[in-house]
């Protein structure tokens, strides 16, 4: 199907429903850049050999991009005239992977210049990055276009903080058309990658002003974290998000939650919030990696469909850091 031949009234109606699957296609670049997947995979494979966190970095960028103004590549923009970068928001400070996106973009521009969007790069590279470390695969729908602006304030309101309660996280997901299963499944992306001390050290010594550690942290896990992040540290030391298999994509994350060994407060809240419907989902994923993989793949497709720009909306950036 061509996305450029709708008459104006029909296109107007379709552009309202930008989250519809009809806007994207797995074969969008079949004629304009037929080797797009192989090119992205080649860069990801090369990067993965020197940086085991490559996939985790990219999928975080994709999630943070999609939750602010939709999957439009806005997170990749630097500060410029009329643009206040999302990179400077608290939730994105220290985020990695921007250099990986630039490398992928350069490789694609050398083969099919001006064709593949930065937003699509994030979607494709996320799937490839997960698959490279043992995770599921899914059909990546393509055809997103890049935004002309960023939304700095939207990061603070729309991206879950690592210190949120489940009651705060729920509406952040439902407001994007995601349900509680999506919340628990996508949190499973924390089965690989690292987090800085500043994202969880509030749990270690004086949780919520109590003068004591977070009681939902396993007592044998707590000293390990306190050793990594002693009181008064600068908050920049890294700890594995998954204590058992930190560089593999598997369901150990959920087993860790059952053992009260989730690193972030937002992780452990999924299992330790009394009476929550998330507990049964955690238990299901802990007992079945296949179920987790199936649901994660479905949720990633759903995530990648949030607020996409298509048709004549937005542009195809030649440099992901700036508008054309």
- Which of these, 304, 68, 212, lies nearest to 76 by C-alpha position? 68
Place of tokens 């960028």: 61
Q: Which of 41, 60, 62, 64 is catalytic?
A: 64
Residue numbers in the known binding site for substrate are 160
The DSSP result for 68-109, as a single string, is TTSSSSGGGPPPBTTB--GGGSTTTTT---HHHHHHHHHHHH
Cβ(104)–Cβ(40) below 8 Å: yes
Cβ(226)–Cβ(204) below 8 Å: yes
Encoded tokens for 167 = 């009651």
Residue numbers in the known binding site for Ca(2+) are 65, 68, 70, 72, 74, 86, 191, 242, 245, 250
Cβ(160)–Cβ(266) below 8 Å: yes
Place of tokens 């210049």: 113
C-alpha to C-alpha distance for 238 and 145, rounded to whole angstroms = 34
Query: How many Cβ atoms sit within 10 Å of the Cβ of residue 310?
Result: 22
Q: What is the largest CA-CA distance in the chain?
A: 64
C-alpha to C-alpha distance for 47 and 53, rounded to whole angstroms = 9
C-alpha to C-alpha distance for 195 and 3, rounded to whole angstroms = 40
Mark whether 62 is an active-site residue. Answer: no
User: In 192-319, where do the E strands start and end?
Assistant: 194-196, 238-240
C-alpha to C-alpha distance for 230 and 253, rounded to whole angstroms = 24
Residue numbers in the known binding site for heme b are 190
Residue numbers in the known binding site are 65, 68, 70, 72, 74, 86, 160, 190-191, 242, 245, 250
Using DSSP's 3-state secondary structure scheme, residue 25 falls into: strand
C-alpha to C-alpha distance for 258 and 284, rounded to whole angstroms = 11
Active-site residue list: 64
């Amino acid at each position: 199907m061509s996305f450029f031949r709708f008459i104006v009234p029909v296109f107007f109606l379709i552009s309202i429903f930008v989250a519809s699957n009809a806007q994207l296609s797995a074969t969008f670049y079949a004629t304009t850049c037929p080797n797009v997947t192989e090119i992205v995979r080649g860069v990801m494979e090369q990067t993965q050999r020197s940086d085991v966190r490559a996939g985790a970095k990219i999928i975080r960028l994709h999630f943070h991009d999609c939750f602010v103004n939709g999957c439009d590549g806005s997170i990749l923009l630097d500060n410029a005239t009329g643009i206040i970068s999302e990179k400077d928001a608290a939730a994105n400070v220290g985020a990695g992977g921007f250099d990986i996106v630039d490398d992928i973009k350069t490789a694609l521009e050398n083969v099919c210049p001006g064709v593949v969007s930065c937003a699509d790069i994030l979607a494709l590279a996320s799937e490839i990055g997960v698959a490279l470390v043992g995770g599921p695969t899914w059909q990546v729908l393509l055809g997103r276009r890049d935004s002309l602006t960023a939304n700095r304030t939207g990061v603070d309101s729309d991206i879950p903080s690592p210190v949120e309660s489940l009651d705060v996280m729920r509406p952040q997901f439902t407001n994007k058309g995601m349900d509680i299963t999506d919340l628990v499944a996508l949190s499973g992306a924390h089965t690989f990658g690292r987090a800085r001390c500043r994202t969880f050290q509030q749990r270690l010594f004086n949780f919520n002003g109590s003068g004591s550690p977070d009681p939902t942290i396993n007592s044998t896990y707590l000293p390990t974290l306190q050793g990594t992040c002693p009181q008064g540290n600068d908050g920049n030391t890294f700890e594995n998000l998954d204590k058992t298999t930190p560089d593999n994509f598997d369901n150990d994350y959920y087993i860790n939650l059952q053992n009260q060994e989730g690193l972030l407060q937002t992780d452990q809240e999924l299992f330790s919030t009394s009476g929550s419907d998330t507990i049964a989902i955690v238990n299901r994923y802990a007992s079945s990696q296949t179920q987790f993989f199936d649901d994660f793949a479905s949720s990633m497709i759903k995530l990648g469909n949030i607020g996409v720009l298509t048709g004549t909306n937005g542009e195809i950036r030649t440099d992901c850091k700036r508008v054309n």
